[in-house]
Chains A and B, each alone.
Chain A
Amino acid sequence: MKYDLVVVGGGPAGLAAAIEARKNGVERIVLIERDRELGGILQQCIHNGFGLHVFGEQLTGPEYAERFINELNNLKIEYLTNTMVLEINDKKEVYILNQELGFRRIEAKAIILSMGCRERTRGAIGIPGFRPAGIFTAGTAQRFINIEGYMVGKKVVILGSGDIGLIMARRLTLEGAKVLAVVELMPYSTGLTRNIVQCLHDYNIPLFFEHTVIDIKGKNRVEGVTIAKVDNNRVPIRGTEVFYECDTLLLSVGLIPENELSRNAGIEIDARTSGPFVNESMETSIEGIFACGNVVHVHDLVDFVTQEAQRAGRGAARYIKGEAIDNGVVIRTVNGNGIRYIVPQKLRLENLNDEINLFMRVDNIYNNCRLDVKLDGKIIKSFKKRKVTPGEMETVKLKKSDLSTYNDCSLSIEVVKE
């Protein structure tokens, strides 16, 4: 099988990337999805609030997905569902497996990786105690309730204040469960403010900062959990333990980009994002292999995933048509004080259209601050912010004309308190 472009993953990133590539003149495209349907995790996110940036209105997850699925079909872009990608390599070969075709090798001119991310589990954070039934990641519980139609429990404690956990606190409450508490290790929420308000305040669900789960009781089914306050080093403080009787523990403790395929292909991974290093076109360290969405870094709004995926789609189209320019002059993005990561990590000035959006996350809550953008140590732009928090991704828009350079140089961004 031969294609111009293979897109791995049919969630919001893969859909938008495939559509954008087709609109930029790429003919033979195939999108590969391992689930039985397209749309990815959006299909289980039945709450609304998606699409404010892209469509200027509030949509639910399935509605947001369906708009893109319809467009994919209108553009007659091929796709395979129930199909697993087993391996990709630096020769841009993709090995797939499904029930109808069996095992196949696809030769591609370009590949876009859009596998999304995976939830951290109990094993990833090391909670002591037995291993009874009744412990779920928030996303798994969401799928059970919203798609499969199973209720996961009656009395629930949620560890972590990630967005999915907050959304599930409300969903479980509406479905008749009692959510006793949301427990967050950090002194701030890792979810969006609007979710804290709409999902917890609306239903009087308590949120405890600087607390964690230190024990799980129950051998067959969860019978309760013990939570405790932690000190500045995140170590539980003796004497602050409180026992909650419950039958279910949900974990909403972070997401990790899903890069098994990327790593095996030899793509360089950035330790700060756990996703591939990418350039302005979302191209990875292997020429012609692009990546976008949560596989690159974890986003909190799907709208930004879509924008990033469109950038990858355009980049892949340019590459396939031989229009990408690589004259060796690059700008590397470097995180300054207060910045945890910046994506993309590398900019090739010649390939920028008019402007570039940089996505970044800060490492703490800062009120009334500036984001200073420096090119080789010289401030070229400064953005005033009333409030930045690790729970909400920041974007900085730079014009191509702001960036003129003839040499390799570095672009740093730092948080400066006013």
Chain B
Amino acid sequence: MKRHEFVCIMCPMGCNLEVLEDEDVILVKGNQCKRGYEYGVKEISNPTRVLTSTVILKNSYLRRLPVKSDGEIPKGMIKDCVKFLSKIEVSAPVKMGDVIHKNILGTGVDIVSTRTVE
């Protein structure tokens, strides 16, 4: 049985979770509500995060355009995605929500602009 420790971030309580993992059972201890249980299970089965970063911006007084993933990306791929994005160039004008890159590194998630630049 594998043992993991997390701090739950579903609310300000910040419960200390102990997650025990067997071949087909996942046990969560220390959570004070159902959301803590769900967080514990997700953290060991498939932890994902929204990615936020910037890309190079041309044709504007701003040098960088802030972007985010339009959905959650597997935690282990975040670094590779940021590295990939650091080479991308966008030219103004661009609108908030515009797709900057489709299906980043095969995750099925798009990268969108998070601000409008005239």
Q: Is the CB of A174 within 8 A of B64?
A: no
Partner of A58, one of B50, B66, B75, B82: B50
Which B residues touch A60, using CB under 8 A? 52, 66, 68, 114
Which B residues touch A386, using CB under 8 A? 13, 32
Q: Is the CB of A43 within 8 A of B115?
A: yes
Question: How would you classify the secondary structure of chain A's contact residues: helix, strand, loop or mixed?
Answer: helix
Partner of B96, one of A63, A176, A202: A63
Q: Which of A16-56 contact B (CB under 8 A)?
A: 36, 43, 46-48
Interface residues on B, range: 20 to 34
Q: Is the CB of A198 within 8 A of B66?
A: no
Q: Is the CB of B9 within 8 A of A48?
A: no
Q: Is B20 an interface residue (CB 8 A)?
A: no
Partner of A63, one of B49, B79, B115: B115
A48 with B7: in contact, given A66-B96, A387-B13 (CB under 8 Å)? no
Q: Is the CB of B12 within 8 A of A387?
A: yes
Binds B, one of A118-126, A144-152, A285-293: A144-152
Q: Is the CB of A174 within 8 A of B79?
A: yes
Please give me the residue from chain A that is nearest to B10 by CB atom: A194
Q: Is the CB of A175 within 8 A of B82?
A: yes
- Rounded to whole angstroms, the CA-CA distance of A179 and B115 in the bound complex is 28
Which B residues touch A36, using CB under 8 A? 61
A interface residues, how many (CB within 8 angstroms): 31
Which A residues touch B99, using CB under 8 A? none
- Rounded to whole angstroms, the CA-CA distance of A147 and B86 in the bound complex is 14
- Rounded to whole angstroms, the CA-CA distance of A192 and B9 in the bound complex is 10
Partner of B63, one of A66, A148, A192: A148
Q: Is the CB of B64 within 8 A of A149?
A: yes
Partner of A146, one of B32, B50, B66, B79: B66
Residue ranges of A at the interface with B (Cβ–Cβ < 8 Å): 36, 43, 46-48, 58, 60-63, 65-66, 145-149, 174-176, 192-194, 196-198, 201-202, 386-387, 392
Chain A CB count within 10 A is highest, among B63, B114, B116, for: B114
Residue ranges of B at the interface with A (Cβ–Cβ < 8 Å): 6-7, 9, 12-14, 32, 49-50, 52-54, 56, 61-64, 66, 68, 75, 78-79, 82-83, 86, 96, 114-116
Q: Is the CB of B66 within 8 A of A46?
A: yes
Q: Is the CB of B75 within 8 A of A202?
A: yes
- Rounded to whole angstroms, the CA-CA distance of A290 and B61 in the bound complex is 34
Min CB–CB distance A270 → chain B (angstroms): 25
Min CB–CB distance A356 → chain B (angstroms): 22
Which A residues touch B49, using CB under 8 A? 198, 202
- Rounded to whole angstroms, the CA-CA distance of A46 and B114 in the bound complex is 8
A174 with B53: in contact, given A202-B75, A387-B13 (CB under 8 Å)? yes
Q: Is the CB of A194 within 8 A of B9?
A: yes
Please give me the residue from chain B that is nearest to A202 by CB atom: B75
Please give me the residue from chain B that is nearest to A67 by CB atom: B96
Q: Is the CB of A193 within 8 A of B9?
A: yes
A198 with B62: in contact, given A46-B54, A46-B114 (CB under 8 Å)? no
- Rounded to whole angstroms, the CA-CA distance of A196 and B56 in the bound complex is 29
Min CB–CB distance B61 → chain A (angstroms): 7
A47 with B115: in contact, given A63-B96, A196-B7, A198-B9 (CB under 8 Å)? no
Min CB–CB distance B75 → chain A (angstroms): 7
- Rounded to whole angstroms, the CA-CA distance of A25 and B47 in the bound complex is 48
Min CB–CB distance A2 → chain B (angstroms): 30
- Rounded to whole angstroms, the CA-CA distance of A60 and B56 in the bound complex is 18
Please give me the residue from chain B that is nearest to A392 by CB atom: B12
Q: Is the CB of B66 within 8 A of A62?
A: yes
Min CB–CB distance B86 → chain A (angstroms): 8
Given A46-B68, A61-B66, A66-B116, 5 additional A-B pairs, CB 8 A: A62-B96, A66-B115, A193-B12, A198-B9, A392-B12
Which B residues touch A176, using CB under 8 A? 83
Q: Is the CB of A387 within 8 A of B14?
A: yes
Between A and B, 10 residue pairs with Cβ closer than 8 Å are: A60-B66, A60-B114, A66-B116, A146-B66, A148-B63, A149-B63, A193-B9, A193-B12, A193-B14, A194-B9
Q: Is the CB of B64 within 8 A of A147?
A: yes
Min CB–CB distance B113 → chain A (angstroms): 9
Which B residues touch A201, using CB under 8 A? 6-7
Please give me the residue from chain B that is nearest to A49 by CB atom: B50
Min CB–CB distance A205 → chain B (angstroms): 14
Which B residues touch A175, using CB under 8 A? 82, 86
A197 with B7: in contact, given A46-B114, A60-B66, A149-B63 (CB under 8 Å)? yes
Min CB–CB distance A373 → chain B (angstroms): 20
- Rounded to whole angstroms, the CA-CA distance of A62 and B75 in the bound complex is 23
Q: Is the CB of A148 within 8 A of B64?
A: yes
- Rounded to whole angstroms, the CA-CA distance of A145 and B86 in the bound complex is 12
Which 6 A-B pairs rank lowest in CB-CB distance, beginning with the nearest? A62-B115, A193-B14, A149-B63, A46-B66, A194-B9, A60-B114
Min CB–CB distance A364 → chain B (angstroms): 16
